[in-house]
A and B are shown apart, each in its own frame.
Chain A
Amino acid sequence: MSTLLDILTTAAILYSVCAGLLLVFGVMKIINFAHGGFLTVGGYSALLVTHLGLHPWWAPAFAFVIGAVCGMAIERLVVRPLYSRPLDAILATWGLGIIIGQVITLAFGREVQFVQSPVTGALDLPGGASYSEYRLLLVAVAVALGLTLAAVLEGTRLGLVTRAVIMNENLARALGINSGLVRFATFSLGAGLASLAGALITPLSSVDPNMGVPWLVNAFMLVMVSGVSLVSLAIACVVLGGAQVLVSQWGNPILGGLTIVVLAAFVLRLRPQGFSRG
């Protein structure tokens, strides 16, 4: 029972962490390697909320805003010139990740710090065991997040317009679409979501200036195997996240940490479209 819940909550956490990266990649065809940096920004936003003595419920909202604002600045200054050079965009955003990490180090120090959790209780399971309520809450958050994003992308004109800009920007402009605005909004939203996810995961562990990097690699691989679909991202998170949980429990945690990247690489080799139907 608790293994099942572990799988479910792990998948939910991964999904929240990946959503922003998927959005930016799927819509803009740009891999945002600053995603790890934005997760870190979210973690420290939550820390700030704790320092300011606000209720921890404020952390996700606060993190989203800070992340989105950072995203806006970065899209204008760095990402915009790189749309036609996707591999360079990976490198430049990785450099941004370094910058974010160093700025945070200068501002907050290198040491590991802890953040208050909004929910501290544990839920009793049948059979006497108990399970963290906060982790269960994250499942609900992930589901809500996925449904909202899907509704916007697939069901609205905004989603269609966004896809059009990516496929053929000049044509979109000729049809009256303000493409610069679409890219700007997408990247900012992706950054905001990453930061939000950073705030959500910090109560589970801790914050430090490099907290985003391990998440980045897993998120990157999950997005790669998902194609650009939110549904296949959910499947990938459950399957690969589940495998990670199982390997960590019955194998060893270090191998568990490798599960997602290795499985994803082989899945892509055997089935280039990964978990998406395409």
Chain B
Amino acid sequence: MNARVDIAGSAALAVAGMRSGYGEAVVVRDVHLTVQPGEIFALLGKNGMGKSTLLKTVMGFLPLQGGAVSLFGEAVGGLAPHLLARRSLAYTPQEQALFQDLTVEDNLRLALRDRTQFASGLERIGVHFPFIPQRLKQRAGTLSGGEQKMLLVARALMTRPRLILIDEITEGLQPSVIERMVRVLRAERDETGAAMLIVEQNVQFALAVADRYAVLKLGEIVDTGPVADGTVAARITDQLSV
């Protein structure tokens, strides 16, 4: 118990005994996980296993029914989403993640609370996604599916957050874009030391980008460990196919 508190003290994100769901339907039960600063953590699992629910609960969109969540040592359970977002936390949801009717530029600006950061932020993401600075005035809804996903990641990186939560960014993406995502996220982590919690179904992508992983099954973590272990891919694929 004490050890866990110690970890929470230094962790970017510490989830202890989380229980959450929709009304009486408990989707996440007694989940413990920590993400250290500078670490990319992949949360894997099939559809309906509670991955997105966990992220929404961390972000304050769903009430915490039990357990605790802390960011950089501060207990944040019960805080409203906008207050969490102001604690250097970026979140890219799986669905309806862009303002479709606003321009690319407005979508990026909305993530920033300080407008003086826009130019430098744009320069940084332009390195990863050159199409974005060229198409600032285009409506986000008219971008292709892959471009929208890239804009999402770009928006998350704009603020140089200390922790990024990403929900299924590879869904519907073609392999070349997925590879680019791996490069971008790892480069960003190396540069800014941001922690990332990445929810995925795509095992290959998750293992290519992450340092550690956990597998969520029926709302509980059934396997976790470092990605470095060479047998991981086969084991996870096995677990996801059961």
Residues of chain A touching chain B, judged by Cβ–Cβ distance below 8 Å, are: 157, 160-161, 163-164, 167-168, 170-179
Contacts and interface: CB of A to CB of B under 8 A. Distances in A.
B61 A170 contact: yes
Nearest to B60: A173
Given A163-B102, A164-B102, A173 B81 contact: yes
B68 interface: no
- By CB atoms of chain A within 10 A, which of B80, B96, B99 has the most? B99
Given A167-B99, A168-B96, A171-B99, A178 B82 contact: yes
A167 B82 contact: no
Secondary structure call for the A interface: helix
Nearest to B97: A171
B111 interface: yes
B71 to A, nearest CB: 14
Interface size class of B (residues with CB under 8 A): 20 to 34
A74 B96 CA distance: 30
Given A170-B81, A170-B93, 12 more contacts: A160-B106, A160-B109, A160-B110, A164-B102, A170-B61, A173-B82, A174-B81, A174-B91, A175-B111, A176-B111, A177-B110, A178-B80
A170 B84 CA distance: 13
A160 B98 CA distance: 14
A172 to B, nearest CB: 7
Interface of B: 59, 61, 80-82, 85-86, 91, 93, 96-102, 106, 109-111, 113, 115
15 contacts: A163-B102, A164-B99, A164-B110, A167-B102, A168-B99, A170-B93, A170-B96, A172-B82, A173-B80, A173-B81, A173-B82, A175-B85, A175-B111, A176-B113, A177-B82
Nearest to B91: A174
A265 B115 CA distance: 42
Nearest to B81: A173
Contacts of B97: 171
B102 A176 contact: no
B101 A179 contact: no
A179 B86 CA distance: 14
A174 B93 contact: yes
A173 B85 contact: yes
Among A168, A171, A178, residue most surrounded by chain B Cβ atoms (within 10 Å): A171
Contacts of A173: 61, 80-82, 85
Contact of B82 (A157, A168, A176): A176
A277 B12 CA distance: 48
Contacts of A174: 59, 61, 81-82, 85, 91, 93
A161 B111 CA distance: 10
Nearest to B111: A175
A276 B113 CA distance: 31
Nearest to A170: B61
Contacts of A170: 61, 81, 93, 96
Contacts of B100: 167
